[in-house]
Amino acid sequence: GENVEQHPSTLSVQEGDSAVIKCTYSDSASNYFPWYKQELGKGPQLIIDIRSNVGEKKDQRIAVTLNKTAKHFSLHITETQPEDSAVYFCAAGGSQGNLIFGKGTKLSVKP
């Protein structure tokens, strides 16, 4: 079935460093790739998304890149801050009209 692999499962960085989270997907028909941030006690919140006709998208300190040939996409956070600490999920828009989520990455930013 459709699958999304996410790595790493945990990531610890020093404040000010960059963080990169990578995902691969199996369904070549996927055309929508959102990233969600989940803080403790809250539901996931969309932070950035990209569609298959675009290779890269940036929003301030956050950027996402997509390689459709290799079926992988990545989240890049620059100049990390303690408030970036959270669990991040990638997802791929499946051919069935639903979203398939990765298992999540727990990011810790140390002051």
- Residues lying near another protein in the complex (CB under 8 A) are found at 1, 6, 31-32, 34, 36, 41-46, 49, 51, 89, 93-95, 97-99, 101-104
| C-alpha to C-alpha distance for 100 and 13, rounded to whole angstroms | 27
| C-alpha to C-alpha distance for 27 and 1, rounded to whole angstroms | 8
What angle is formed at CA 100 by the lines to CA 75 and CA 84, rounded to 5 degrees?
30
Residue 44 or 80 having the CB closest to another protein: 44
Assess whether the previous peptide bond of 8 is cis (omega < 30° from 0).
yes
Residue 54 or 81 having the CB closest to another protein: 54
Task: State the minimum distance, in angstroms, from the CB of residue 71 to another protein.
Answer: 17
Residue 49 or 62 having the CB closest to another protein: 49
Task: State the minimum distance, in angstroms, from the CB of residue 89 to another protein.
Answer: 7
Task: State the minimum distance, in angstroms, from the CB of residue 99 to another protein.
Answer: 6
Residue 81 or 98 having the CB closest to another protein: 98
Task: State the minimum distance, in angstroms, from the CB of residue 3 to another protein.
Answer: 11
